[in-house]
């Protein structure tokens, strides 16, 4: 019996205006807003956070941001802080997404400061880790994941750790249509669970949810979500359309 409730999180990336976002979330609320088997988070772009947050009020859907700065306020043009996200009733924040790492130069130390700031502000970080294709082909997948995970969680206390969500996202599978096989994904998820055990002890590691991300779709979700250490999905492309996202939530509800 797992202690972990499945979680499906939608990363909308730089897509959808506030009105597009409200239209999508209105459909989601109607279809899955009352079910309680799966936790569901939607992460719209910042401009849609407030209106989407209002549209999901009263439902089980939770609101997440896609990034934030670690400082609470100050001269950081273009950035937003954890207290600002909390003021819009966000409960989750994606941190260290591979696009932030590759396109915006975010490194592990910077991401770690954000993880610490998120926890301090009662935001649940969804910390993304994962290897590139070159790293997988060089046989360094586990080493890369270990470095990102340990550095990202540096300074996180045992009592805070259950509030953290990890997303294993092989970079070569994001937005490419190339999904990791369930064996490939489970191998890394089990490895992450082992690292969490070393860091925080068995009881805590068993509570931390580890999501898979990378071209997860309704067709491949049942097999991935059926793996012992895969506790849900971080969904990009398939979160932009109500039908596919709803089907992913249903697949998570049915996964054993």
The catalytic residues are 97, 169
**Nearest approach, Cβ of 217 to ligand PEP (angstroms)?**
8
Please, which of residues 3-32 interact with ligand PEP by CB under 6 A? 11
Among positions 237, 248, 251, 252, the unique one binding ligand PEP when judged by CB under 6 A:
237
Backbone φ and ψ of 34, nearest 5°: -115, -15
- Rounded CA separation 93/52 (Å): 15
User: Which residue, judged by CB position, is nearest to ligand PEP in the bound state?
Assistant: 236
Pick from 213, 245, 249, 250: which binds ligand PEP (CB under 6 A)? 213
Contact pattern for ligand PEP over residues 150 through 189, marking x by CB under 6 A:
-------------------x----xx--------------
Binding to ligand PEP by CB under 6 A, coded x per residue (else -) over 111-130, reads --------------------
Query: In the bound complex, what is the minimum distance in angstroms from residue 57's beta carbon to ligand PEP?
Result: 25
Neighbours of 40 (CB within 10 A): 25
Q: What minimum distance in Å lies between the beta carbon of 216 and ligand PEP?
A: 6
Half-sphere exposure of 148 (CA within 13 A, CB side): 27
Interaction between residue 236 and ligand PEP (CB under 6 A): yes
Q: How far is the CB of 214 from ligand PEP (least distance, A)?
A: 5
In the bound complex, what is the minimum distance in angstroms from residue 11's beta carbon to ligand PEP? 4
And the tokens for 211?
A: 């999501």
- Binding residues for ligand PEP, rule CB under 6 A, total 13
- Name the one range near ligand PEP by CB under 6 A: 18-26, 36-44, 113-121, 207-215: 207-215
Q: Decide if residue 215 touches ligand PEP (CB under 6 A).
A: yes
Contacts with ligand PEP by CB under 6 A lie at: 11, 169, 174-175, 213-216, 234-238
């Amino acid at each position: 019996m797992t202690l972990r409730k499945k979680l499906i999180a939608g990363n909308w990336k730089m897509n959808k205006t506030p009105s597009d976002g409200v239209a999508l979330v209105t459909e989601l609320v109607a279809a899955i807003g009352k079910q309680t088997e799966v936790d569901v988070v939607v992460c719209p772009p910042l401009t849609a956070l407030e209106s989407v947050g209002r549209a999901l009020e009263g439902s089980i859907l939770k609101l997440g941001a896609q990034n934030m700065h670690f400082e609470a306020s100050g001269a950081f043009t273009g950035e937003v802080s954890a207290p600002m996200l909390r003021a819009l009733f966000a409960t989750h924040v994606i941190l260290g997404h591979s696009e932030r790492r590759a396109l915006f130069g975010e490194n592990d130390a910077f991401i770690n400061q954000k993880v610490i700031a998120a926890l301090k502000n009662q935001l649940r970080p969804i910390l993304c880790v994962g290897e590139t294709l070159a790293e997988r082909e060089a046989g360094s997948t586990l080493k890369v994941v270990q470095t990102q995970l340990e550095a990202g969680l540096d300074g996180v206390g045992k009592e805070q750790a259950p509030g953290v969500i990890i997303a294993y996202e092989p970079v070569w599978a994001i937005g490419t249509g190339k999904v990791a096989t369930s064996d490939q994904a489970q191998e890394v998820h089990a490895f992450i669970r082992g690292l969490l055990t070393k860091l925080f002890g068995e009881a805590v590691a068993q509570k931390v949810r580890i999501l898979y991300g990378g071209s997860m779709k309704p067709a491949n979700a049942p097999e991935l979500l059926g793996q012992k250490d895969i506790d849900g999905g971080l969904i990009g492309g398939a979160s932009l359309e109500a039908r596919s996202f709803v089907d992913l939530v249903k697949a998570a509800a049915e996964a054993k």
